[in-house]
Amino acid sequence: MTTFGLPAECGRLIEYDTAADLQELRNAGMLKETMPIGGGSNILFTTGRFNGTVLHCNNTTVNINRSNSSGAVEVYAAAGCNLDMLCAMTCAEGLWGMENLSGIPGEIGGAAVQNVGAYGAEFRDLVKHVICFDPSTGNETTIENADCRYGYRDSVFKHPEGKNLIVTGVVLALSPTPKPNRNYAALAAAFKDTADEKLTPTDFRNEILRLRTAKLPDPAIAGSAGSFFKNPVVSAQRHREISARFGREIPGHIVPAESSDVTEPDVKLSAAWLIDNAGCKGFSQGGASLWPSQPLVIINTCGQATGEDVVALEKRIIQTVRNVFQVELSPEVIHI
């Protein structure tokens, strides 16, 4: 049930369909110390044994509501819905918004918690609200986008005040009119001569899938959790200092300031570039190794890795980047 394909066990596995199921489980005292899991695409079981209860949603319901007076098309997707399947479906319906997230493994519940993102887009850009079950009260609750506290691979659902909530579904606001997101350089180049009205969401989806296939392993062939490390964010001054020490400007992207009081916005560095230029290419540990064409990805080589192998390789990469650039990498993947 994880894309890493590592050996792992849990104390109990519960699969459910509806909030009513969750209410029954709560009444039976079976929702204590549970860990919700989606497509298992961003989880590393470090020791191969989790003694608690793993909770998975089997509901894959999708409803499309085109009658919204705001002009946006509202799409409800249950937590168990496959993220890429929903991308394909909304693209086929001519709805804009999800196309840049095409190919990301996982399910909608996990996407809402993790705020997944790729190619210039993030899940939070689409969320109207998230529907959750609160085990402490037994009630369903709706969390509006602003209250989800979305950040870079972060949300309220990863913090104490929200981590006990169980995401059961998400309502997304998509556009029926062309809104291509060309923020990613390769997409801007691919469609530079094409006007917005000549494009379809499927055009963008197909290009995204082509880009992903060229760089990332198919989990069915080489197990992984996709991008293993977050892109580190440093101050503009720190970026200049690191660049001066390295002898040339290190690649980075300006992070838009959330306040007008900020004189110099922070810079998001490329973790892949740092790993590659720190000399980590070819690193391996036991059955785990770096993917040759994308150093952000740690793979389960030939299906022989353990959680301990992955953690050991992760630590070695972090230490090497720290030694070379004095920059601290942190994992995007959740460690259990």
The domain total for the chain is: 3
- Asked if 107 is an active-site residue, the reply is no
Does residue 221 contact residue 39 with C-beta atoms inside 8 Å? no
The answer to whether residues 250 and 131 belong to one domain is no
Does residue 157 contact residue 112 with C-beta atoms inside 8 Å? yes
Quote the strand ranges of 66-213, DSSP E: 73-78, 117-118, 121-122, 127-134, 139-144, 166-174
CA pair distance 11, 3, nearest whole angstrom: 20
- Asked if 153 is an active-site residue, the reply is yes
Q: Is residue 1 part of a domain?
A: no
Catalytic, out of 153, 182, 207, 314: 153
Q: Is residue 244 part of a domain?
A: yes
- CATH code at 181? 3.30.465.10
Q: What is the pLDDT of residue 262?
A: 64
The answer to whether residues 211 and 67 belong to one domain is yes
Q: Is residue 4 part of a domain?
A: no
Q: Which domain holds residue 33?
A: 9-57
The answer to whether residues 299 and 246 belong to one domain is yes
User: Taking 80 as the threshold, does the pLDDT of residue 258 lie above it?
Assistant: no
In the block, residue with structure tokens 């190619």: 119
The answer to whether residues 269 and 232 belong to one domain is yes
Catalytic, out of 99, 107, 207, 332: 332
For 188-199, how does the pLDDT look when each residue is reduced to its tens digit (9 = 90+)?
Answer: 999 999 999 999
Q: Is residue 84 part of a domain?
A: yes
CA pair distance 8, 224, nearest whole angstrom: 14
Catalytic, out of 41, 155, 227, 289: 227
- Asked if 245 is an active-site residue, the reply is no
The answer to whether residues 254 and 179 belong to one domain is no
For 117-174, how does the pLDDT look when each residue is reduced to its tens digit (9 = 90+)?
Answer: 999 999 999 999 999 999 999 999 999 999 999 998 999 999 999 999 999 999 999 9
The answer to whether residues 161 and 191 belong to one domain is yes
Using the 8-state DSSP alphabet, how is residue 270 labeled? -
- Domain boundary residue among 199, 215, 231? 215
Q: What is the pLDDT of residue 69?
A: 67
The answer to whether residues 242 and 137 belong to one domain is no
For 4-58, how does the pLDDT look when each residue is reduced to its tens digit (9 = 90+)?
Answer: 999 889 999 999 999 999 999 999 999 988 999 999 999 999 988 899 999 999 9
